[in-house]
Amino acid sequence: MDDDAIARVHAEFFDDPSPTDVITFEGDPAMDFAGEICVSVEHALRYASAHGTGFPHELTLYLVHGYLHLSGYDDIDPSDRRRMRAAEKKALLALEKSGNLPEFRVVT
């Protein structure tokens, strides 16, 4: 998604019209639906450029973050946030070490 699209989703479901990096919606097991992860590609591009993290790494982080939410992790309070960050780091390190970090490209 671009920033405008994710901002609309953020406003509609969370009453916050600002763009964000990732939004996760819980699925419904009865419908065999794991959930939905919405990411802002624009946000990832901007953040990666400003912080030197690399676009594929940043976008993968957003997807990992969303998947962790679907797996029961939360990041509301500080202790949960620390647990989430540790799990993100572990997952990204595993992807990098195995050579399986996705290579994303933006085509305009």
CATH number at residue 88: 3.40.390.30
C-beta separation of 42 from 58 below 8 A: no
| Domain total of the chain | 1
Asked if residue 83 belongs to a domain, the reply is yes
Asked if residue 60 belongs to a domain, the reply is yes
Asked if residue 107 belongs to a domain, the reply is no
pLDDT tens-digit map of 80-101: 999 999 999 999 999 999 999 9
User: What is the Cα Rg of the chain in Å?
Assistant: 14
pTM of the shown model: 0.90
Separation of alpha carbons 95 and 12, rounded Å: 33
How confident is the prediction along the chain (108 residues), in pLDDT tens digits per residue? 999 999 999 999 999 999 999 999 998 888 888 899 999 999 999 999 999 989 999 999 999 999 999 999 999 999 999 999 999 999 999 999 999 999 988 887
